[in-house]
Chains A and B, each alone.
Chain A
Amino acid sequence: QKEVEQNSGPLSVPEGAIASLNCTYSDRVSQSFFWYRQYSGKSPELIMSIYSNGDKEDGRFTAQLNKASQYVSLLIRDSQPSDSATYLCAVNQAGTALIFGKGTTLSVSS
C-alpha cells in the first residue's frame, strides 16, 4: 500500500514566521513530488514541484527533498495570513497516478 503521510495540524504560526510542513512517503521508487495549496471551498493549486534531492526555491517557498529518508518538506518564509490554507503533499512514480497525503492545515495569525 503506497502511502503519503502528513500531520493534519492545525499548524499555527505568527505572521512573519517560517512555516514548516512535512511529508513522508512509503514507496521508495517515487520520482516526482508536489505541493498543492487549497483554500477552503476552492480547488488545489500547484505551488511547488521537486524531482531531485536538495532544495528548490520559488519566492517565499522552498521545497526540500531527501529520497534516502523518503521525506519532502515545504518551508514558507515570512508567512502571511493569506497563506492560511490546507497544504497537500502529492507523490508519484512513473506510470501511476498521484498519491495525495491528507493535508496539513496552516493558520497564520496577524
Chain B
Amino acid sequence: DTEVTQTPKHLVMGMTNKKSLKCEQHMGHRAMYWYKQKAKKPPELMFVYSYEKLSINESVPSRFSPECPNSSLLNLHLHALQPEDSALYLCASSHEAPSEQYFGPGTRLTVT
C-alpha cells in the first residue's frame, strides 16, 4: 500500500484565518515532506521531517508552521497567508530521506 492521504482536498481561507492541512501515511516511512506547487511549475520543497524531527526548512515564511506529531502524521499550520500563497500543497513520504517519495493527492488552497 503506497498511499498518502491528505485533508482537506480543497480549502478557501481569508488572510486573517488560521487553518491546518493534514497528511497521514501508514507505510512505516520515516521521512515526510511538504511541497508547494504552482500551476505549470515543479513541486517546490518547503519542509522535510526525518524520524519526526525537522531536518530541512527551505527558508519558508513563518506564516507556514509544520508539525509532526508522530511518525505517521504531518500537519501544516497556516496563519495570515497572502493571496500569492494560493497553490497545491503536496505531502509526500519516503522510507528514509530522500529515497523514493510517494505523494498524497494534495490540498488545493485558495487565499482570498
Contact = CB atoms under 8 A, between A and B. Distances in A.
B43 interface: yes
Contacts of B106: 42-43
B interface, how many residues as a size bin? Answer: 20 to 34
Per DSSP, chain B at the interface is loop
B98 A97 contact: yes
Highest count of chain B CB atoms <10 Å: which of A44, A49, A90, A92:
A44
B74 interface: no
B101 interface: yes
A97 B42 contact: no
Interface string A98-110: 1011110000000
Contacts of B45: 97-98
Contacts of B99: 32
B48 A97 contact: yes
B42 A102 contact: yes
A92 B100 contact: no
B105 A42 contact: yes
A97 B56 contact: yes
Given A90-B101, A95-B97, A103-B42, 7 more contacts: A36-B103, A42-B105, A42-B106, A43-B88, A43-B103, A97-B45, A97-B56
Interface of B: 33, 41-43, 45, 48, 56, 58, 88, 90, 97-106
